[in-house]
Amino acid sequence: MLPHLPYWTIALPLGLLWCMTVGCKTPCTDTVDICGFAQFKAASPTTAAQAGVVISGYTDPIVRAAAVGFWIGLHPQTPAAEATALCALLEPQEQRGCLRRVTSPHLNPVNR
């Protein structure tokens, strides 16, 4: 039996693979954010509030999950309250894993 992993741990590699094979040169549609994660990385928001604004604009829950996971991974020093606000942008199942990640001291060695 496989362990339960947060959704973004699967979505991120699949999204990157798709983006690399299909290409992100075409504009994204409003119903399916094909290039949303690439756009998020290109926007490189520096604060949790900026990241939240960009992420909340994505309609695809997979893109939102990948962007939240990526940003939190790059910014482990983010205060728990701000990281929790980013987790709130996710679907309920992904929220639980995200909240465990940002509030568990053994997963985040940086003091919050």
- In angstroms, the first-to-last Cα distance of the chain is 34
Q: Is there a domain that residue 28 lies in? A: no
Q: What's the predicted TM-score (pTM) here?
A: 0.65
For 37-83, the DSSP string reads HHHHHHH---SHHHHHHHHHT---HHHHHHHHHHHHHH-TTS-HHHH
Q: What is the pLDDT of residues 22-56, one digit of tens each?
A: 455 555 555 456 677 777 888 788 899 999 998 88
Q: Is there a domain that residue 90 lies in? A: yes
Q: How many domains does the chain have?
A: 1
Q: Is there a domain that residue 25 lies in? A: no
Residue 90 pLDDT > 50: yes
Q: Is there a domain that residue 108 lies in? A: no
Q: Is there a domain that residue 92 lies in? A: yes
Q: What is the domain extent for residue 88?
A: 7-20+35-103
pLDDT band at 21 (very low <50, low <70, confident <90, very high): very low
